[in-house]
Structure 1
């Protein structure tokens, strides 16, 4: 694996992906506290509704959120798409508006990639019936970083209430190529809320850039 890639597996309630400092900065001037017990209060104080925070946010993000579009992925055919892959293919290259992909309950056996040219994508599931994105790729087949079930290269990505699983079996330490990533994220300014990531080895490849995880199980 390239030295610039950081892959790790850890169970947490909230992870902020800045490994070189004790605090990181939000869009506002108040730093995210190093004390985990203070994170909830910080979040409720500093992360307000969009219309209250426009002056402190990235202008490109403000523009994208004002023109949000919702598309549905439903396995029973009641949405615009039956697969997440097809929904992502429908997003134009150079996209400038938020596209919220609402994903119905079920197991989606897909190897999903969101390319860098498709920013402002949200994958959204219902908390009570979280969809499970699942695939069994391994390093032997794809290389470690490309074995991920979900690969996100684009900026401004958001995931909420989804499960991401790599179903490859527990690796045999005597056999090379057993690494099996569930999520690889390299786009900038990504956020994950109430998501669950499962795998036996290298569950998350937090490749590069800034990522925020809240109420997630990894």
Structure 2
């Protein structure tokens, strides 16, 4: 199978991290999002939504949206709980990541690192800070009580949120005031098979 993505993107990196942790064989197809390679005719045939990551199976079927791919690849492993409530808690955190975390932390990082914090985006960058810190405080509150985000242990919920949280300082979100998050980041980075994200642009 192939995974199309850009490892600088947290949404893509989370899949690379999962594949390393579970030793899933795959071909990584680099897609440069800054050069608009998701808008080529060949890519649009695979994903009309023009976004990465994209999973392309051996039989030609495709799957988009990072957390959907993450859960598909984790089926049958300890990283995706079989208990219905634990599974729902995993999904709760994944929805939180997409709606309450990524729109602030990932976007601020993109403006700062990819665009170089241009004057015309500076107000937007600063406007993202309060929402990002709200999300971090929610995570901090949970991680003060549990080693991982879901009581059942390390799961795809942690991978989903690790991706952009560990590079949050790139978007101006210093983590010094979040000791539980920092300890959690260290635990994830110590897992066998861990692969770091490439250095930020």
TM-score (structure 1 length as normaliser): 0.28
Higher normalized strand content (fraction of residues)? 1
TM-score (structure 2 length as normaliser): 0.30
Q: Which has the higher contact order (CA 8 A, sep 6+)?
A: 2
